[in-house]
Every structure is written in C-alpha cells, then in structure tokens.
Amino acid sequence: MKLFSNIKYILVGMLFGLVFVKAEIISWFRIQEMFRLQSFHMYGIIGSAILVAMISVLIIKRFKIKTINGDEIIIQPKQFNKGQIFGGLIFGIGWAITGACPGPLFAQIGTGASVVIVTLLSAIFGTWVYGKFKDFFPQ
C-alpha cells in the first residue's frame, strides 16, 4: 500500500512537470521576459495560479472539504514578519539570476538542462543554511 501511494505522487509530479514544460514555465527566456517586464505570459500564469488557489481555499472552507483519508483540513492563519520581505527579495534575486524557481527545477533537469543541477544543489544548500540559522533571524 505504501508503494502505491508513492507511485501516485511520482505520477502527479511527472504530470505537473509536463504542464510546466508545455506552459514554458521552465524557459529561462520567459523568466527573463517577466523580470524585464517585456511579456505578460508568466504574470498570467502566476495570476491564474493565485486565482485558482483563492477559489480552492474558499471552497475548502465553505464546504468543509476533508482529505482523501477523511481528515479535516485546517488552514492556519499566517503571521507576518519582516523576514518574509527579506526572504522574498533573496528568492526573487535568485530566481532572476538563475532563471529557475524551485518548482520547475526537476522539470528543467528532466528536459536535459543538466546545468540546473547546480541550481538545485544551491537551493538545497540554501534551505539547509536557513534551517541551521533560522533561530538567529529576526521574527
């Protein structure tokens, strides 16, 4: 049973990667167009994702949707702190420089852009650094 649950996640991940490739979300040129304000393509995709997420959360809350296992879905309120601003800036700068955000990294590697492995390892290292030093950051 455990093996099946992992296989379904792999299949969903592969489908998600295929969508990223077909929508050109993994294209370095599309990402550069976005940061140079030369194209609406990426903003349209991001805006669509935000709209779908908003509607999904509203439906989950209004109809008290449960997980596939019957558990209640609880969405915790988010606390704002200035670290989110700094983190967002660091994330955006890294995204602009590398042309890759964490979501499509595996799809980029899967299409043969092996140089993106450096970006993947950097993202993993950055996550490790944050985890190691998060207690020292301002809340």
Question: Model confidence over 75-102: pLDDT tens digits?
Answer: 888 888 888 888 889 888 888 888 787 8
Residue 37: count of CB within 10 angstroms of its CB: 8
Q: What is the pTM of this model?
A: 0.73
- Position 138 scores a pLDDT of 66
Please, what is the Cα angle at 113 between 127 and 92, to 5 degrees?
40
Instruction: Name residue 25's amino acid.
Output: I
- The strand pairing partners of 66, in sequence order, are 72
Distance CA 121, CA 134 (A): 19
Please, what is the Cα angle at 132 between 130 and 138, to 5 degrees?
60
Please tell me which residue, 139 or 110, carries the higher pLDDT value. 110
Phi, psi of 97 (to 5 degrees): -70, -45
